[in-house]
Amino acid sequence: MIETTPRENQLIFAIHVSAGSRRNEVGGQHDGALRVAVTQAPEKGKANAAIIKLLAKTLGISKSQLEIISGDTHRRKTIAATQIDPQQIDQQLQTLATSK
């Protein structure tokens, strides 16, 4: 189960990133965080940009609604999804967590 913190029109959640992977994918969990794999190397913010793009596409929201609020240079990052329905996004995250 993915640990989430709902707020008004916002949801905070953690991800565990594997940068430099063979393919971009979202699914599974690691220590209460959603697993995210991106092909981009972890250099000069390329992987972080790829993470935001992949999460936005997967969750069906715009990139501007997602922000990395901590962990810019770490595998574990905290993400804020804003201007969304927290319950809907939480449900999607929980489904993704059990998909791998």
Mean pLDDT within 10-23: 97
Q: Over 80: is that where the pLDDT of 19 sits?
A: yes
Which pTM was predicted?
0.94
Where residue 7 falls among pLDDT bands split at 50, 70, 90? confident
* Residues in a beta bridge with 4: 13
Which CATH superfamily does the domain covering 4-97 fall into?
A: YggU-like (3.30.1200.10)
pLDDT digits (tens, 9 = 90+) for 30-85: 999 999 999 999 999 999 999 999 999 999 999 999 999 999 999 999 999 999 99
